[in-house]
Amino acid sequence: MNDRFLKACRREPTDCTPVWFMRQAGRYMEEYRRIRLKHSILDVCKTPELAAEVTLQPIERFPFDAAIIFADILLPLEPMGLTLTFDEGEGPVLHNPVRTRADVEALRLIDGDELRFVMDAIALARKALAGRVPLIGFAGAPFTLASYAIEGGGSRNYIETKRLMYGEPAVWHRLMDKLARVVSGYLRHQIQAGAQAVQLFDSWVGCLSPEDYREYVQPHVRLIFDGLKHHNVPMIHFGTGTATLLEIMKDAGGTVMGVDWRVPLSEARRRLGRDVALQGNMDPVVLFAPVHEIERRVQSILREAGDDPGFIFNLGHGILPKTPIEHVQAAIDLVHKLSQR
């Protein structure tokens, strides 16, 4: 088995730097688009055979060092009581957004078993991977989930989210607590089903000040990581635009910290210390550049990461739908080649 990824998560030496890309099972791949012609995102997520197939697609094609289960961070919101659709070109829509105390109280505290199809997909994917590379499970973090649940979809300024947070902190904390409990159970089920590492996606938390993060988010994220510790699997804590949040995100938990391209890896290492691994941090748009420029940037990231074990090469955010496929191949090969010990 290729265990570079798990070793790097544990800050153990590896023969070269492991690499995977967020959203590596996605629209930039023709194989994926072919499946999506016939099936909606939710169909793929809810059909374990399809989810497992899509999870494997990038592994069949590229020398990635980890697979990540195909799913959507919003899946838990459906059994909690929200109506979720993916509208063409508009992204996710939650048709009954959470805005009041009553809305929050009405949310069901599911235990994760309602998402059995994800666990089944994990089991199938593990089997199909047959030990080639480890499988990562994941969930959205409470703040990011809350922002979708409150806004009713994606957002630019998070007005309703922050209005609830600032204006009705008790209701906010109740919502975050419910989400944290659900996410905690969901990730536990994923680990039990075979996920060998988990990533918590707090994709939009970078819209908060450090003070707000500490007050309105940190305790709920801590609950999740504390609850998962005893499983002893790597826990990746990811966000974007988190340059002023890194230390307090680490303090909330995680054994691997995600870093985006706005923070040089040497700075992240200096600020976070040596007791966590780092994952990142190439700008996804670099994959649109010519290969010689991709090479220059892979080199620069590896140099910034330094010689210590405990680094996983990734993008700073998900791979973009129109990314040229041959640049993905080139980037992975360059990471492996240029990081040979």
Q: What residues line the site for a second copy (CB under 8 A)?
A: 157-159, 162-163, 166-167, 206, 208-212, 241, 243-245, 261-264, 267, 283-286, 288-290, 293, 300, 320, 322
Judged by beta carbon, residue 206 or residue 227, the one nearer a second copy is 206
* Terminal C-alpha separation, the chain: 19
Give 13 or 324: the residue with its C-beta nearer to a second copy.
Answer: 324
Given a contact cutoff of 8 angstroms between Cβ atoms, the answer to whether 178 and 107 are in contact is: yes
Give the sign of the dihedral formed by CA 179, CA 229, CA 227, CA 194: positive
Annotation marks residue 269 as catalytic: no
Residue (226 or 293) nearer to a second copy, CB = 293
**Catalytic residue (choose from 28, 148, 186, 216):** 148
One-letter amino acid at 226 equals: D
**CA quadruple 107, 112, 117, 119: dihedral, nearest 10:** 160
Q: How many CB atoms lie within 10 A of CB 81?
A: 14
Parallel, antiparallel, or unpaired for β 91-94 and 84-87? antiparallel
CB of 330 to a second copy, least distance (A): 14
How far apart are CB 192 and a second copy at their closest, in Å? 36
| Residue 148 annotated as catalytic | yes
CB 205 to a second copy: min, Å: 11
Tell me the three-class secondary structure of the chain, residue by residue: CCCHHHHHHCCCCCCCCCECCCCCCCCCCHHHHHHHHHCCHHHHHHCHHHHHHHHHHHHHHCCCCCEECCCCCCCCHHHHCCCEEEECCCEEEECCCCCCHHHHHHCCCCCCHHHHHHHHHHHHHHHHHCCCCCEEEEEECHHHHHHHHHHCECCCCCHHHHHHHHHCHHHHHHHHHHHHHHHHHHHHHHHHHCCCEEEEEECCHHHCCHHHHHHHHHHHHHHHHHHHHHHCCCEEEEECCCCCCHHHHHHHCCCEEECCCCCCHHHHHHHHCCCCEEEEEECHHHHHCCHHHHHHHHHHHHHHHCCCCCEEEEECCCCCCCCCHHHHHHHHHHHHHHCCC
CB of 60 to a second copy, least distance (A): 27
Catalytic residue among 4, 11, 28, 72: 72
23 noted as active-site residue = yes
Is 296 an active-site residue?
no
Q: Looking at beta carbons only, is 16 or 320 nearer to a second copy?
A: 320
Q: At closest approach, how far in Å is the CB of 161 from a second copy?
A: 8
Closest to a second copy by CB, 111 or 247 = 247
163 vs 229, which CB is nearer to a second copy?
A: 163
Choose between 63 and 241: whose C-beta lies nearer to a second copy: 241
In the annotation, is 36 catalytic? yes
Q: What are phi and psi of 112, to 5 degrees?
A: 110, -25
In the complex, the smallest distance separating the C-beta of residue 117 from a second copy, rounded to whole angstroms, is: 30
- Distance of closest approach, residue 195 Cβ to a second copy, in angstroms: 29
Residues with a known catalytic role: 23, 27, 36, 72, 148
